[in-house]
Structure 1
């Protein structure tokens, strides 16, 4: 069976999750030549492809990918399948089912993998999720010769879910890309999700807030960056400014301030618990102030119970969720966020 290689950059393939792709021509989460200097760490992390999706329909009984990454797997607390792999889901909008993940020699920056073969059944809707913690220089889609390739059905909403946050938002430490909570939300809500999690560097800088505000067609902005603030002062100064900057461009778009999940260390360190409660109060007071000033589209959502009562069993290292943790986060966030897209 001869394989024909297709660039997903060409129609009828649809690529989601990279707001500046058409302009800059690279798989990147922030603009290539930003108006203002990004912090160096954010500049580097913007090249990680978390949240990217390739969507299409095909009747091919075989699907392969050729991938060239910007580096090699090198994380000590996250599977290489999550850091560097692609996930394949098959199915209709809102009901797609996991199929396979690219598994390869992780010492190499390039790979070619067959994700499925001998799959009959006519036209299938395919979603491929990009790696979470590395860049992708090129990806090609291999289908059998003569296979039909068609555009995917549209999302349920033309509005985007934009999530700004930390390494947890970016996807640490999902075992594979489809299990990062923003990707689960994208599947369950059937909307495009822009993942702007920056590991260790979700600090709410004004220059980043301005770039986030450039994203077109936002239906909801979620601010989930408390865990990277370190202390009250940074959060207290950046959170109101971030919302005001966003409001300057998107006057009526809802903003949800999401407080962080509970960390296992709280069970033993009272200081960690007190810090989280202090930061949570800052966020609640910030939202209250905006609402009292007449902005009724700013909301607070408490992340304390997102992992459940046994939150200490839901992480890799006491901080970063496993697939179990991300599943629980999404399960509780879907009903809270769904009304914003109806």
Structure 2
């Protein structure tokens, strides 16, 4: 056999690995900011018209990193009903794919799910050149009209300046079915909550939960920077009529003292605006190195203890709607095999997290499902 010196181009060897530059000039292009599209996951979009998870100009000065990360569109969804035989998307991002341990499909791509709320199934992910900040991608071309409910998930770790939906010129377009109630589940936390490092947007654990529990899920995970700041609590408290608050920010906390000082204040601020809304505090998942690093494991156990004791104390003081969940159980005994880097879950890890949390979250939001 002769010596091989050429660089391997997998796309030349496997057609399933190629990116087709599909530009369909026959389509009618529509903005999802206009009716009858429904957009979930951006609480301030009706007022500001921005694909952004926090207000553009919040009343409180937020940490600069949080302000920037709020432009990442994790948790955003576009929903609609159509009979179009074709479906494509045009996207203008704020940057290109640049992460070493997270696929560009998760960082910068859109996921397409089909079906009614509570029974959506994955169809496909936008195929695009990860080095570009703009792309057009085709989700399907069925060659025939077909009635379907569509849900598109926004990118997890990049901003979206513009997005356009392409359908047949003569296709019908209607609003997606309404969710059970117009009450969002609001989750606040870390890079893990934001979706690092899911292979595609639909596999972040709040996204998985949104397909089994038909409510809006607002993903306020801020990578490395959700640290329980009171400014964030006051901003989040502005969200009207939530079904549930979830606080999952332990992984961003550097000390027991920091957790002990931030958590009670954060909860108190939320309670000033929402005194009876269910509130779930989740301690973090196990990290791989905790098997070998006793100091790291002890830190995790102490932070978990502070969270549990805070919840128990507030219960004793009369808050009947606050709850604690031990997150160290979420990934199972083989937790170290469920991450990319020992910290951030793979799709398997996120699926385990969502399935473990679903019964608890479903019970807490049950009054809003009828």
Question: TM-score scaled to structure 2, two decimals?
Answer: 0.91
Aligned residues: 342
Contact 2:84–2:145 at 8 Å: present in 1 too? no
Q: Are 1:305 and 2:314 an aligned pair?
A: no
1:120 Cα deviation (Å)?
Answer: 4.5
User: Which residue is 1:204 aligned to?
Assistant: 228
Q: Are 1:17 and 2:41 an aligned pair?
A: yes
Where does 1:63-78 land on structure 2 (aligned, <5 Å)?
63-78=87-102
1:304 Cα deviation (Å)?
Answer: 1.1
User: Which residue is 2:251 aligned to?
Assistant: 227
User: Which residue is 2:86 aligned to?
Assistant: 62
1:210 Cα deviation (Å)?
Answer: 0.4
Structure number, greater radius of gyration: 2
Q: Secondary structure at the match of 1:210?
A: helix
Q: Are 1:116 and 2:140 an aligned pair?
A: yes
1:25 Cα deviation (Å)?
Answer: 1.5
Where does 1:246-285 land on structure 2 (aligned, <5 Å)?
246-285=270-309
1:86 Cα deviation (Å)?
Answer: 0.2
Q: Secondary structure at the match of 1:235?
A: helix
- Unaligned runs of at least 5 residues, structure 1: none
1:10-63: CA deviation from partner (whole Å, max 9, x where unpaired): 111000000001111111000001112110100100000000000000000110
- Over 3 Å counting, the alpha-carbon distance change for 1:289 and 1:44 in structure 2 is same
Return the match for 1:91 from 115, 120, 123: 115
CA–CA separation in structure 2 for the residues paired with 1:340 and 1:294: 18
Question: TM-score scaled to structure 1, two decimals?
Answer: 0.99
Contact 1:232–1:282 at 8 Å: present in 2 too? yes
1:157 Cα deviation (Å)?
Answer: 2.7
Root-mean-square deviation (CA, aligned residues, Å) is 1.0
CA–CA separation in structure 1 for the residues paired with 2:183 and 2:33: 21
Contact 2:119–2:211 at 8 Å: present in 1 too? yes
Where does 1:1-342 land on structure 2 (aligned, <5 Å)?
2-118=26-142, 120=144, 122-342=146-366
1:114-170: CA deviation from partner (whole Å, max 9, x where unpaired): 011116463100000000001000000000111010101111232110000000000
Contact 2:82–2:147 at 8 Å: present in 1 too? yes
Contact 1:87–1:101 at 8 Å: present in 2 too? yes
Contact 1:159–1:341 at 8 Å: present in 2 too? no
CA–CA separation in structure 1 for the residues paired with 2:181 and 2:255: 37
CA–CA separation in structure 1 for the residues paired with 2:37 and 2:72: 21
Which moved further from structure 2: 124-133 or 101-110?
101-110
1:262-303: CA deviation from partner (whole Å, max 9, x where unpaired): 110011101111111000000010001111111111110111
CA–CA separation in structure 1 for the residues paired with 2:36 and 2:69: 29
CA–CA separation in structure 2 for the residues paired with 1:120 and 1:235: 56
Contact 2:60–2:235 at 8 Å: present in 1 too? no
